[in-house]
Amino acid sequence: MNTVARAHGRWREILPRLGVAVSFLVNRHGPCPICGGKDRFRFDDKDGSGSYYCNQCGPGPGIMLIRKLNGWGHATACREIDSIIGDGAPVAKAPPPARNGGRLEAIEGLLAEAEIYLVHNRASRQDQLVILAFHHRWRR
Ligand SMILES: [Zn+2]
């Protein structure tokens, strides 16, 4: 999802943090945060798009408001918005806790010892295969 899509419905939270005072974010005529005046601007936030209308600057969505106000390009505006609402990247997961609280490692250790024991004591091929098969199953 791109920045503008993620910003949907959140412009009243975003705009004040990027230079548009809360006093501008009302749907009645007032001064324009970009070009001033007295009653040329209103913020109607159509469908959560952050839209505004200025008799002087024209209409635009929320992202255009901060672009014009700050002299930013689209990419810069997106970066600034991302810094407020997050960039949508999946949150890195913490490594999983040791499986079975370390019990699996303990069992693997025992099996490895058993393997060595069997080999050293010339266990029958049959026994070795059983142990090896067991070990491989646990390793998965
Ligand atoms: Zn204006």
Instruction: Give 60 Cα–ligand 1 centroid separation in angstroms.
Output: 10
Q: What's the confidence (pLDDT) of residue 110? A: 80
What DSSP assignment string belongs to 29-76? -EEETTTEEEEEEEE--GGGS--EEETTTEEE-HHHHHHHHHT--HHH
Q: The tokens of 127 are what?
A: 């026994």
The verdict on 72 and 131 lying in the same domain is no
- Please tell me whether the overall predicted TM-score, pTM, comes out greater than 0.85 for this model: no
**Mean pLDDT, range 4-32, rounded to an integer:** 97
The verdict on 7 and 29 lying in the same domain is yes
The answer to whether position 91 is within a domain reads no
Contacts of 11 (CB under 8 A, 6+ apart): 25, 45, 48, 49, 50, 62
Instruction: Give 77 Cα–ligand 1 centroid separation in angstroms.
Output: 18
32-78 residue pLDDT tens: 999 999 999 999 999 999 999 999 999 999 999 999 999 999 999 99
Domain with 74, as residue range(s), is: 3-85
**With bands split at pLDDT 50, 70 and 90, how would you rate the model's confidence at 19?**
very high
The answer to whether position 20 is within a domain reads yes
Task: Give one word for 43, left, alpha or beta, with left for phi > 0 and alpha for psi -120 to 50.
Answer: beta
Q: How far apart are CA 105 and CA 44, in angstroms?
A: 61
**Mean pLDDT, range 29-34, rounded to an integer:** 97
Neighbours of ion ligand 1 (CB under 5 A): 32, 34-35, 54, 56-57
Instruction: Give 25 Cα–ligand 1 centroid separation in angstroms.
Output: 13
**With bands split at pLDDT 50, 70 and 90, how would you rate the model's confidence at 96?**
low
Q: Which of 60, 85, 110 is the last residue of a domain?
A: 85
The verdict on 53 and 80 lying in the same domain is yes
The verdict on 32 and 70 lying in the same domain is yes
Q: What's the confidence (pLDDT) of residue 58? A: 96
100-138 residue pLDDT tens: 667 777 777 887 777 777 667 766 777 767 767 766 776
Q: Is the dihedral of CA 77, 82, 88, 94 positive or negative?
A: positive
**With bands split at pLDDT 50, 70 and 90, how would you rate the model's confidence at 79?**
very high
Total domain count, the chain: 2
Cβ pair 73, 67 in contact under 8 A: yes
**First CA to last CA across the chain, in angstroms?**
36
Instruction: Give 41 Cα–ligand 1 centroid separation in angstroms.
Output: 6
The verdict on 108 and 42 lying in the same domain is no
The torsion angles phi and psi of 54, rounded to 5 degrees, stand at -125, 130
Q: What's the confidence (pLDDT) of residue 39? A: 96
Q: What's the confidence (pLDDT) of residue 109? A: 81
